[in-house]
Amino acid sequence: MIVKKEREIGGKILSIETGRLAKQANGAALVTYGDTMILAVATASKEPREGIDFFPLSVEYQEKSYAAGKIPGGFFKREGRPGAGEILSARLIDRPIRPLFPDHFKNETQVVIFVISSDRENSADVLGGVGASAALTISDIPFQGPIASVRVGRIDGQMIINPTITQQEESDINLIVSGTDDSIMMVEGESDEISEAEMLEALKFGHDAIRDLVALQNELAAELNIVKMEVVAPEVPADIESRVTAFCEGKIAEAIQIKEKKARNERLSAIKSEVIEDLGEENEAHYGLAKEIFEKVTKKLVRGMIINKGVRLDGRGMDDIRDIECLVSFLPRAHGSALFTRGQT
């Protein structure tokens, strides 16, 4: 069944269609904006991957040469490896969707976005975020979205949603904003020097468009009415959770006060080993669970320190920056060189 939904976004019609391409995938969405089209495909394994404590998600973004009417150069006439722009676009899509999967979902999941038509005016990267979310939303994969991505520009004081590539050259703001119906999850971009009030206005303007795109995806999902996979959370023995928390909470609170990164990480790693040792061999089956509890406690303490005390992990305040060192002519034989160091980076 082919289902298509449309909505005016930024003065142009954006459409999301499913059921025509990639029918064997868990979910697929064809997003069209102007003459730019992307195909987003989402797939997931039926069974969880054993022996891991992370979510195995991969996101790829591929710009096909034929999308712009080109044939790859060279003898083989094949698509090459992803370029820097494609890798960065994949990261833009990955960041807002990754937190929206259940904590205990460990099934191999892959989201691939293909740019299959480009009019060279409407950017495909933000369409990739919409398409990825739509493909996941209409699939049986337990995605807790939808999300949407838009680009915000400003020309002559007028805010614009999804400015064309030509307009982006004239714009003094170029932001990519991603979020859900009620929250902004990611912001990336550049601008001329503007006030905080102007930046806030741009974010709110972008979020209004995001809400429209989220509503469009919800309409599509409601018509298809796909049943999501059931995620079974492992049973956490109350005694294990309380025992691990009681053992490590105070030690972690002390460790995160260490300002030097290497020493701090070494101490946290040592505490994690002590947690496993404290459980003993009789609780070997719960070692993986204990490590998850350890990470959960660490995250809670770091977050609390930031919110309640305004202090970050290395002791810096919210407005403090790391020491910066700049050197020129660092490489004696190179034709111009420089070294930029910020803290230990």
pLDDT reported for residue 315? 84
What does residue 85 show for φ and ψ, rounded to 5 degrees? -65, -40
pLDDT reported for residue 238? 77
Cα angle 125, 128, 132; round to 5: 155
Cis amide linkage into residue 234, ω under 30° from 0? no
CA nearest 18: which of 214, 215, 227, 217?
Answer: 217
Residue 5 to residue 90: CA distance in whole angstroms: 25
Which uninterrupted H or E stretch holds 38?
strand 36-48
Walk across the sheet containing 12-18 and list its strands. 3-9, 12-18, 27-33, 36-48, 107-117, 57-63
Tokens of 152: 């915000």
CA nearest 178: which of 142, 127, 113?
Answer: 127
Domain boundary assignment for the chain: 3-224, 234-345
pLDDT reported for residue 103? 87
pLDDT beneath 70: ranges in the chain: 76-77
Q: For residue 314, what is the DSSP state?
A: T
CA nearest 131: which of 55, 223, 67, 42?
Answer: 42
Contact 304, 296 (CB under 8 A): no
In this structure, how many other beta carbons lie within 10 angstroms of the beta carbon of residue 312?
14
Residue 269 to residue 283: CA distance in whole angstroms: 20
Radius of gyration of the chain (CA): 24
Q: Per CATH, which fold does 234-345 belong to?
A: Arc Repressor Mutant, subunit A (1.10.10)
Longest dimension (CA), the chain: 69
The CATH architecture one would assign to domain 3-224 is: 2-Layer Sandwich (3.30)
Map residue 302 onto helix, strand or coil. helix
* pTM confidence score: 0.86
pLDDT reported for residue 32? 98
CA nearest 123: which of 211, 16, 29, 35?
Answer: 35
pLDDT reported for residue 80? 75
Residue 225 to residue 242: CA distance in whole angstroms: 40
pLDDT reported for residue 344? 82
pLDDT reported for residue 208? 98
